[in-house]
Structure 1
Amino acid sequence: MPRREDCAWCGSTRLRVKVRTRDFVQLKPGWFTLEECRACGHVFQNPRLNEEGLDFYYRDFYDGLGEEATTDLFGGTGARKRYVASARAMAVHDRPAKWLDVGTAHAQFPQIARAELPETVFDGLDMGESVEKAAENGHIAEAYRGTLTGLAAELAGQYDAVSMFHYLEHTLEQRKELAAAHTVLKPGGHLMIEVPDPQCAFGKLFGKYWLPWFQPQHLHFATMSNLCAELADTGWTVVHASRTGDQHIPLDGVSALWYFSTRFVPDDDAPWLPKRPSKAVIRARIALLISLVPALAAVHFSERALAPLVRRTPFSNAYRVIARRT
């Protein structure tokens, strides 16, 4: 797509480069630029990938070759505690009869939240085949494969709650996603959003090695103030908004160390590489990875231990907003 000259959120032309980075997870080719609007703080991929490009980078991440690794990453012990906290945060405002989890993937959240809200029926929506597998495994009652904007009319007024956990930053048109959620909810229903905070201090500290920039999949980073203002202007009442709290994911340090180390560790064997690595290169990779284990483990456990403190500071890396459809 051509580069935009104006902000994707407010239309200001006061743009500056925030970071220029690459795919540090699958190591697929390409470099990507995130620009920040100096007027409103919105951060967005500019120029943005087209549909074909996005499909290339999503392929083999949530399904296929990368499915198991992604499930382990988002479904571990830390994710369990975070999802329990999210369910309890919603329960303060509502105990919904029907809940739609948008961008549910393998439906980790509905599986975990069911123990906190046993009376709630959870459905899931996602573009990948994982949502259908989740329904087959009994993790959700109904699976909807597609986009929220495309299915909103079909699902209009059916739900008491809609959740978007680290979903909105992947979407092309964030305002349209909010409008679709408004359509899907019953009057008085609640929308819960958790997204990376572009104003997080770790983002400045680690620069292109900060995990939540997550290029090229993350397209838009709305600030919490921008998102709350948009909700207030479009038929919602914001009942909770916090940049600090248990939505923080303690992976910033260990992921930054790993991303930095990819500059020195040879690439793994992958079908998108121009040629297969030799046996000598593979052996060198294994040796380097083994040498990194102590440092990665030390940072990982330190982050987990410090998480209760960090999540109360500007280093908290995600914010949570709950809004009621008015």
Structure 2
Amino acid sequence: MTDETRPGERIAALRPGYQADIAAGLDRFFEARRTSCPWCGSEDLKPRLHTTDLLQHKPGSFVLDRCGGCGHTFQNPRLSAEGLEFYYRDFYDGLGEKKLGDTFGGRTRMYRGRAESMVPHDPGPKTWLDVGTGHGHFCAAAREVLPDTAFDGLDFTDGVELAEREGRVEHGYRGNFPDLAPELAGRYDVVSMFHYLEHSTDPDRELRAARDTVRPGGHLLIEVPDPESRYARLLGRWWLPWLQPQHLHFVPVANLRDRLAELGFTVVAEQHAEPHDPVDLLAAVWLSLDHAAPRDDAPWLPGPPSALRRTLRAALLITGIPALIAGTLLDRFAVRPLSHRLGVSNAYRIVARRD
């Protein structure tokens, strides 16, 4: 078996299982639609976004509602446990493991910046737990900034086990954070959640677990997409951080600050320019091109594409190269230096001290 044929054979082997899941109907992948905001309880809900899965192109349509009371944006109806399993399958692991691993592994500069954001508040934490660590690439890079810190990782996928085997984390905990929090209570100087809360079914429960895990005087470091970014409105469904159907909650920064205060934290830093990832225009161009082009092979599609469809896809993507280059240049050199001033930062970061 050659490297060229192996992906096709893996896809073919997975296709019967996916087709059986789809044939059983998609309704079971969703819970009942909520009539009130999961953050504040207000019933003033308005649709903010209708979209499909623009990354994997798995079947289904998804709605994000926005609360008129507090501004919280959330998936409604939300994925059920079966839906989460279906849409996460082969994204971070399985078929997607190598691709995502290579992508995350190449972001050392960003990871170092995240670690450096803690230095003014605690220049030498002894213990650090990274929640939602994935393959542990952040911990490996952060050790260069904080060589005396012991980094542990927690995730519900098998990526955390890989991270421990590869030595990127000292201890890898697999499971749901709130379930594991009691055994980790008061153990860590720093707990980080980088682009984790938006994936959780209950952000408030995750924050309470973090409060229990951070020792008194320790710090909680959170980074999430910013739903108040102007790009979220200007780019619509093509704004990458919407990441449907995986992202379930989008918390405005004022809401998160208030909730952290209620939990006994003091916010000591709030950053918008620093966590901005300059990929918005590039990603929007790619998502639109990929959406318009014939689909690449995937096990959730009825069968592999014909030679003609493969040729048409390649031709369309090639014609889009100038637009992809233009998006990259604008992202990195025109927008990035002014991202916060223009109000287009796609993420915010909070450092909070547990009192």
| TM-score bracket relative to the smaller structure | over 0.9
Determine the structure 2 residue equivalent to 1:279.
Answer: 307
- The answer to whether 1:92 aligns with 2:123 is no
Q: What amino acid is aligned across from residue 270 of structure 1 in structure 2?
A: A
- The answer to whether 1:43 aligns with 2:87 is no
Determine the structure 2 residue equivalent to 1:270.
Answer: 298
Q: What amino acid is aligned across from residue 75 of structure 1 in structure 2?
A: G
Shift of 1:82: 2.1
Unaligned runs of 5+ in 1: none
Determine the structure 1 residue equivalent to 2:55.
Answer: 25
Q: Distance in 2 between matches of 1:290 and 1:68?
A: 24
**What does the per-residue CA deviation read over 1:234-282, in whole Å, with 9 as the maximum and x for residues that have no partner?**
111111123x221001111111111222332000100001222112111
Unaligned runs of 5+ in 2: 1-30
- The answer to whether 1:195 aligns with 2:232 is no
The structure with more radius of gyration: 2
Q: What amino acid is aligned across from residue 277 of structure 1 in structure 2?
A: P
- Partner secondary structure for residue 33 of structure 1: strand
Tell me if the contact between 1:82 and 1:246 (Cα under 8 Å) persists in the aligned partners.
no
Shift of 1:197: 0.3
Determine the structure 1 residue equivalent to 2:316.
Answer: 288
Determine the structure 1 residue equivalent to 2:350.
Answer: 321
- The answer to whether 1:13 aligns with 2:53 is no
- Partner secondary structure for residue 182 of structure 2: coil
- Partner secondary structure for residue 152 of structure 1: helix
Shift of 1:73: 2.9
Which aligned pairs between 1:194-233 and structure 2 lie closer than 5 A?
194-233=223-262
Q: What amino acid is aligned across from residue 33 of structure 2 in structure 1?
A: R
**What does the per-residue CA deviation read over 1:146-173, in whole Å, with 9 as the maximum and x for residues that have no partner?**
1111100111111110000000000011
Moved more, 44-53 or 292-301: 292-301
- Partner secondary structure for residue 183 of structure 2: coil
Moved more, 120-129 or 290-299: 290-299
TM-score by length of 2: 0.89
Moved more, 66-75 or 210-219: 66-75
Shift of 1:123: 0.5
Tell me if the contact between 2:289 and 2:316 (Cα under 8 Å) persists in the aligned partners.
no
Structure 2 residue corresponding to 1:236, chosen from 242, 261, 265: 265
Determine the structure 2 residue equivalent to 1:248.
Answer: 276
**What does the per-residue CA deviation read over 1:203-245, in whole Å, with 9 as the maximum and x for residues that have no partner?**
0000111100000000000110000000101111111123x22
- Partner secondary structure for residue 193 of structure 1: strand
Q: Distance in 2 between matches of 1:22 and 1:32?
A: 6
CA RMSD of aligned residues (A): 1.2
Shift of 1:283: 1.7
Shift of 1:312: 4.2
Q: What amino acid is aligned across from residue 253 of structure 2 in structure 1?
A: M
Q: What amino acid is aligned across from residue 16 of structure 1 in structure 2?
A: K
TM-score by length of 1: 0.96
Tell me if the contact between 1:239 and 1:324 (Cα under 8 Å) persists in the aligned partners.
yes
Q: Distance in 2 between matches of 1:311 and 1:82?
A: 17
Tell me if the contact between 1:122 and 1:140 (Cα under 8 Å) persists in the aligned partners.
yes
Shift of 1:311: 4.1
Structure 2 residue corresponding to 1:177, chosen from 206, 209, 212: 206
Q: Distance in 1 between matches of 2:125 and 2:342?
A: 31
Q: What amino acid is aligned across from residue 200 of structure 1 in structure 2?
A: S
**What does the per-residue CA deviation read over 1:67-109, in whole Å, with 9 as the maximum and x for residues that have no partner?**
1222233332xx3222222111111101210000000001111
Structure 2 residue corresponding to 1:73, chosen from 95, 98, 103: 103
Tell me if the contact between 1:194 and 1:319 (Cα under 8 Å) persists in the aligned partners.
yes
Across the two proteins, how many residue pairs are aligned to each other?
Answer: 323
Moved more, 188-197 or 60-69: 60-69
- The answer to whether 1:260 aligns with 2:288 is yes
Q: Distance in 1 between matches of 2:141 and 2:39?
A: 34
Tell me if the contact between 2:289 and 2:317 (Cα under 8 Å) persists in the aligned partners.
no
Which aligned pairs between 1:140-159 and structure 2 lie closer than 5 A?
140-159=169-188
